[in-house]
Amino acid sequence: MIPIDRRHFLSQLALTAAAMSLPPYSFASTGKADEYVVTDTSYGQIRGMRKDGVNLFRGIPYGGRISGDRRFRRPMPLQPWTGVRDALEFGAPAIQPPRRNEPAPSEDCLFLNVWTPANDNRKRPVMFYSHGGGFVIGSGAAGGQDGSNLARNFDVVVVETNHRLGLLGFLYLDEIAGSEYAGSGNMGMLDIVDGLKWVHDNIARFGGDPANVMIWGESGGGAKTSCLYAMPSAAPYFNKASIESGPGVRMTPKEVAAETTAMLLKELNIAPKDWRKLLEVPVADLLTMQNKLPFVPPFQEKNKNQGMMRRNYGGFGPVVDGGALPHHPFDPTAPAISRNKPLLVGWNEDEYTFFAWERKDTDFAKLDFEGVQKRLEPQFGQETAKVIEAYRKATPNATAPQLYIAISSIAMMGLGSVDIAEKKVKQGGAPVYLYNFGYKSEKPIPGTDYPMGTPHAMDISFKFNNEIPPRDGSQPKESFFGGNRPERFVASRHFAELWTTFARTGKPTAKDVPAWPAYNLKDRPMMRIDAQCEVIDNRYSQELTMWRSIGKL
């Protein structure tokens, strides 16, 4: 894994946290229902809609109040209701800047959405998705995540939650606030566990199998999935997992979290003994304070000389508190608690082009090799020349911009993914499958003639099978990231089918896709997902050898 200097760290993570707010649309408007559907839950009846062969229930409450005196604590118990409650509109997302086509953000945000082919008591696999956006933005109604096509085309049940984020979800108060606030640094994660428990208790009524639940997520959602994989409270409620472009190898040590809390209190002029004043601070002021701190990444680095890096970043994300999250998810080993649960893990080949697009960085496309060296030195210091030399040798025909994208992309999300796969193999339990998503978008990054390729977050619409021709036979619209080529429909089908068969059986398979062997330390097989999928043994062998030689993997 790659240590990042503070300036680079802040700029990169500000963008990483934004990833899951894109594309800048949502699916809040789905047209009129073909009919309405009423079903029971353990708290009362709800009414959803049936549209184009899928039952959709939106804004189902799965937890009680978390505002007022419940701020930073476990939710109030959810109270049953009488009559039929409408589940036709999305629930409020967690506190963050307003989201397009969604309700206003709110402290009370514990809602989930369900897509199912039918409420018929069949035992379909359940795909429980955690949205991205770092740990500070996003929702279960984010663009590209509509579960309708997965439910309709692959006969699965899809569930997505809203949960606490940022300061309200991850402020560590355990050491100053007493037993009522135990686990405060992981409230956002414990909310997701509550969502999983709701699924366990209720999903049979939606045609899902509570004994066959897959957790999955991209970017920040991948890091959340990494944490769930290591959390005792989550263990009874899922059977397999997928970590996508968000390898959560390590999370925030409680010592760093305590320093962040002290910093916050100082900024607010609140003495530690008066911490209860935090319960009275307006949400808008808390959000302003949150924005003064860097975002916590889906990975964190180990400094060999000083243990976990400290003081190089603050921010709010899951805390290794010894309780809710007993240890780092994949450091020093894969979590024993999930030893027998199959795992998918991987990343997109051109992760960095998303960040170039987001920050309007056009200069990277004009780099020569000397410019690449200057750009990478803040990250890799005296090892920069060795990094570039290894990549030029492994990919002799690559241009300087291509080299820069390749190095930046694997450093951001690839090395952590490989690390997780290797540790899972060494555990000797259930299989792990390593992948690269490689479908290439021809769309140029604005201001350049450099194509997007396979940027961070492009996999979302593909794996949800939302890259498909219109159902009414009209001309397909250009995909936000994916471009215009019709091959994208084939790549999306492959991606979605691999993930849904994994959800069903624990082994990813798909029509017209070669057999995907489990990862091992001899052949090191990796599936490259595209319109034509390919298993590649020992991919990036020269590059990974170099990363190991300089202690980054």
Query: Any idea where the domains of the chain sit in the sequence?
Result: 342-549
User: In this model, does residue 517 exceed pLDDT 60?
Assistant: yes
What number is the average pLDDT over the span 98-112?
A: 95
Ramachandran quadrant class, 99 (left: phi over 0; alpha: psi -120 to 50; beta: rest): beta
Q: Work out the widest C-alpha separation in the chain, in whole angstroms.
A: 69
User: In this model, does residue 8 exceed pLDDT 90?
Assistant: no
- Give the tens place of pLDDT for each residue, 170-190: 999 999 999 999 999 999 999
For residue 18, what pLDDT is reported?
Answer: 40
- Give the tens place of pLDDT for each residue, 430-463: 999 999 999 999 999 999 999 999 999 999 999 9
User: In this model, does residue 307 exceed pLDDT 60?
Assistant: no
What number is the average pLDDT over the span 533-552?
A: 97
Both tokens assigned to 296: 């916590």
For residue 56, what pLDDT is reported?
Answer: 98
In 309-352, at which residue ranges do the beta strands (DSSP E only) sit? 319-320, 343-348
CB-count exposure of residue 451 (10 Å: 0-12, 13-18, 19+): middle
For residue 33, what pLDDT is reported?
Answer: 80
For residue 544, what pLDDT is reported?
Answer: 98
Under 8 Å between Cβ of 18 and 131: no
DSSP H stretches of helix in 395-510: 400-409, 415-427, 459-463, 487-505
**Does the annotation mark 219 as catalytic?**
yes
Coil/strand/helix, residue 331 = coil
- Give the tens place of pLDDT for each residue, 226-258: 999 999 999 999 999 999 999 999 999 999 999
User: In this model, does residue 264 exceed pLDDT 60?
Assistant: yes
Superfamily in which the 342-549 domain is placed by CATH = Alpha/Beta hydrolase fold, catalytic domain (3.40.50.1820)
Note the Cα 520 to chain centre separation in Å. 25
For residue 533, what pLDDT is reported?
Answer: 98
Under 8 Å between Cβ of 390 and 407: no
For residue 29, what pLDDT is reported?
Answer: 42
User: In this model, does residue 419 exceed pLDDT 50?
Assistant: yes
Task: Name every residue whose Cβ is closer than 8 Å to that of residue 339 and which is 6 or more positions away in sequence.
Answer: 427, 428, 429, 430
User: In this model, does residue 390 exceed pLDDT 50?
Assistant: yes
For residue 249, what pLDDT is reported?
Answer: 96
Q: What rounded mean pLDDT belongs to the chain? A: 92
Distance of alpha carbon 375 from alpha carbon 407, whole angstroms: 11
For residue 467, what pLDDT is reported?
Answer: 97
Distance of alpha carbon 322 from alpha carbon 159, whole angstroms: 29
User: In this model, does residue 398 exceed pLDDT 70?
Assistant: yes
Identify residue 146 by its one-letter amino acid code. D
The fraction of the chain above a pLDDT of 90, given in percent, is 87
Distance of alpha carbon 131 from alpha carbon 390, whole angstroms: 35
What number is the average pLDDT over the span 529-553?
A: 97
Query: Among all chains, which residue has been given the structure tokens 């428990």?
Result: 197
Catalytic pick among 148, 219, 338, 461: 219
- Mode of pairing for the β-strands spanning 124-130 and 44-51: unpaired
User: Quick one: DSSP state of residue 483?
Assistant: B
For residue 310, what pLDDT is reported?
Answer: 40
The DSSP line for 200-248 is HHHGGGGTEEEEEEEEEEETHHHHHHHHHTT-TTTGGG-SEEEEES---
Give the Cα-Cα-Cα angle 532, 455, 288 (nearest 5 degrees). Answer: 150
The fraction of the chain above a pLDDT of 70, given in percent, is 91
- Mode of pairing for the β-strands spanning 307-308 and 432-437: unpaired
Under 8 Å between Cβ of 247 and 416: yes
For residue 349, what pLDDT is reported?
Answer: 98
Task: Name every residue whose Cβ is closer than 8 Å to that of residue 67 and which is 6 or more positions away in sequence.
Answer: 106, 107, 108
User: In this model, does residue 210 exceed pLDDT 60?
Assistant: yes
Check whether the bond before 332 is cis (ω within 30° of 0). yes
Both tokens assigned to 454: 């396979």
